[in-house]
Amino acid sequence: MHEQDYAKETLAYIRQTMESASTFTAVSGWGLMAVGAIGLVAAGLVWRTGTPTDLNVWLSAAVLSIITAGVSTTAKARILEAPLWSGVLRKIVWVMAPALTAGAVLTYALAMEGDRHLLPGTWLALYGAGVTAGGVFSVRVLRGMGALFLVLGVIALLAPSVGLPLLAIGFGGLHLGFGAYIVKRHGG
């Protein structure tokens, strides 16, 4: 191999390794905790109104959570001077997208068919599937969080009557817990 090819390959390897490693810090723990707080507020709101699958509340919470996650990830990447749209982050987004798209389509279909009691389990299971798959490119703890969402989703599908508490535990509690872990372990 020509020396310049070797140098190019080595520099690419260094860049790729640093990008892979920076995903540990690019995920904002504070952002994840904020998403957890949004999840708890949404669960509290629908509990008060007595409509656990009120789409106005949950869809608003989902949009707010996506914006919060995007802003916090961007802010952390800037602070750390890390590449925001790295190859790894791109892979994670692509891998998560099918499960989240399926979740959106199923939400529409189940709501149209009047099967709203299945929505909590569907959301939890598909979000868990997406995070577990995306976690393949990141730290093991992310896969753990995805797996816990999957378990909650299965329980919610088998016992729809406890869907709301499970939504609060998942989108509220798990995000808060894992967010706090990232804050503690990966600098914010």
Partner 1 sequence: MVSVRTSSSGTVANPAADELDRLIHERIRLGIVAALAANDALTFAELRDVLKTTDGNLSVHARKLEEAGYIRVTKGFEDRKPRTEYRLTPKGRRALEQYLQQMEGILSAARDALERA
Residues that bind partner 1 (CB under 8 A): 2-4, 6-8, 10-11, 13-14, 17-22, 24-25, 82, 139-140, 186-187
d(CA 188, CA 171): 20
Q: Whole-number minimum distance, CB 78 to partner 1, in Å?
A: 15
Q: Whole-number minimum distance, CB 173 to partner 1, in Å?
A: 18
Read off φ and ψ for residue 32, nearest 5 degrees. -65, -40
Q: Decide whether 157 or 183 has the Cβ nearer to partner 1.
A: 183
Q: Whole-number minimum distance, CB 101 to partner 1, in Å?
A: 27
Q: Residue 14, SS3?
A: helix
Rg, Å, the chain Cα set: 18
Q: Whole-number minimum distance, CB 111 to partner 1, in Å?
A: 39
Q: Decide whether 19 or 115 has the Cβ nearer to partner 1.
A: 19
Q: Decide whether 65 or 138 has the Cβ nearer to partner 1.
A: 138
Structure tokens given for 1: 């191999």
Q: Whole-number minimum distance, CB 15 to partner 1, in Å?
A: 8
| C-alpha distances in Å from residue 18, one per residue of 2, 13, 15, 141 | 25, 8, 5, 19
Q: Decide whether 71 or 184 has the Cβ nearer to partner 1.
A: 184
Residues composing the chain: 188
CA 16 to chain centre: 23
Q: Decide whether 139 or 162 has the Cβ nearer to partner 1.
A: 139
d(CA 22, CA 101): 27
